[in-house]
Amino acid sequence: MKKITIQILMTFVALLLSLGAMSQSDYKVSFFIHEYEDSIIYIEGYCGSDNKVMDSVKVAKDGGFYWTANGYLMGMYMVKSHKGDLFSFCLDLSKEFSIEIYENGEFFVKNSPENDAYFLYQKENKKCQTAMYYYKIKASEKGANVDSLRTDILTVIDSFNAFQKSFFKAYPYNLITVVSDGMNQSAPSYFFENGKVKKGMETQYATYYRQHYWDRFHFNDRRILYTPYFIKQFNNYISEITVQQPDSVCKSIDEFIAKADKNGGKEYADYVIAWYLDNSPKMPFSFNEIIYSHIIKNYLERASKYLMPSVIEFHQENIKRITPFLPGNTMPNIVLRDFNGEVHKLYALKNAYTVLYFFSSTCASCKKNIDDLKNFYKEYKDKYNVEIYSIDIEQDYALSKAHQETEPFDWIVTHATAEELAPYNFQLDHTPSLFILDKHKKILNKTAIYNHVQQSIENDINSPKQ
């Protein structure tokens, strides 16, 4: 895919500072890491989908690593070496504490009850995960007594579940407990039979599960935002249990924001808004642009305090360019010349469907799309009564013309400079870019993938007509 334009200047620095302003604290943490040979450790922090090294600490003469953390936020942090992760810990209520840890996983925590409990949970969880890992290996070996192995691993799992239940009860405010409780989505027993969703109730269960997905989430505890878990849970909510249609995704986003606001989790809603604004504009599909447009129109003013003025201005101008080319709008009457000088007007095409195809002669992805379009055009031109109106936007006109002489297409091929396209105000971020139009030249879809063309036409054919 050949990228044409758009550099989105955006930063989450202001967002992080705004979200964490009420929970910033100064900490003094001492780390004693036995059998560790490096002279430096790195402290990595999290915020939603972002994780980055935030500080480094050099070893002291006594072998300890003494970290003074000024203005840090409550949440989960990772101690790393230059080779990878060592262990995680949390910054919470205790402001000055020490962690001593051995290679075998033994630990000693002083002056931090929350980290003492946190490490205890991690230790027991690791035991269970290790046992499950070796169970899978042994059970796959030839001649393995699978029944005996299964009995042993179930005993380990039952033991950990009992520990977990006891832990959650004993430490209700520990970060581990709060995160685990918030990720515990349950449904009434009438949906299940023999441990599975009852046949015929799949749709009802999916609807219930999505509607109640956030019921147990602790929106008023901002610590969860500063762990890797919140964004994973949100991604699952949007990508896995929400129907992947723009209207459904927009509805899920609205419902999440409303629930977060109602339950003291404005920070989570604000983060999601900023996260989408940072990602959606880079994806040149109607699916993403509809969601992007929805967020801009409904939430840009709210997110403005977290975004730089130049970024706000970019989104305001960007939505003006995108909106006219969203599904449901009519494509302007493009008038361009082919390589023989003949004029081609888009509105002169009276086919049931038109594929408006922007490409570049030097674009490798376009070449793949062209090969697919040739097959599509040959097989479905008459079936769908479809025509292709293609526009080569390669800057080198001679190169484009030579390309057409060497490998001519069976459909309309025009060439356009940026100046010739300017009157139409196209928002072209990448090539290839395909618009699928109905007989009235109303936009059905915008995509960069050929496979979406046939599906868009089929969807329109099968959709109820007014």
Residue 185: CB atoms within 10 A of its CB come to 18
CATH of the domain at 352: 3.40.30.10
Q: Under a CB-based contact definition with an 8 Å cutoff, are residues 49 and 337 in contact?
A: no
What is d(CA 389, CA 372) in angstroms, rounded to the nearest whole number?
A: 15
Residue scoring higher pLDDT (244 or 44): 44
Q: Are residues 166 and 245 in the same domain?
A: no
Residues 421 and 281 in one domain: no
Is 2 a member of any domain? no
Neighbouring CB atoms inside 10 A of 192's CB total 13
**Whether residue 166 is found in the same domain as residue 204:** no
Same domain? 321 vs 271: yes
SS3 130: helix
Domain count, the chain: 3
| pLDDT tens digits, one per residue of 386-411 | 999 999 998 889 988 998 888 888 99
Residues 242 and 293 in one domain: yes
**DSSP letter string over 223-252?**
GGGGSSHHHHHHHIIIIISS-SSHHHHHHH
- Domain membership of residue 149 (yes or no) is yes
Comparing 92-101, 222-231, 354-363, 426-435, the range with the smallest average pLDDT is: 426-435
Sign of CA dihedral 443, 445, 446, 452: negative
- Tell me if 1 is assigned to some domain: no
154 is in which domain, residue-wise?
120-180
pLDDT digits (tens, 9 = 90+) for 169-179: 999 999 999 99
Instruction: Confirm whether 6 is domain-assigned.
Output: no
**Which range (15-19, 115-119, 449-453) has the least confidence?**
15-19
Is the same domain home to 357 and 389? Answer: yes
Q: Determine the pLDDT at residue 280.
A: 65
Please check the confidence at residue 87 and state whether its pLDDT lies above 60: yes
The pLDDT score that the predictor gives to residue 373 is 87
Mean pLDDT of the residues in the chain? 88
Task: Say if residue 263 is in the same domain as residue 379.
Answer: no
Domain boundary among 180, 211, 230: 180
- Residues 204, 309, single domain; the answer is yes
| % of the chain at pLDDT higher than 70 | 93
Structure tokens at 283: 């994806």
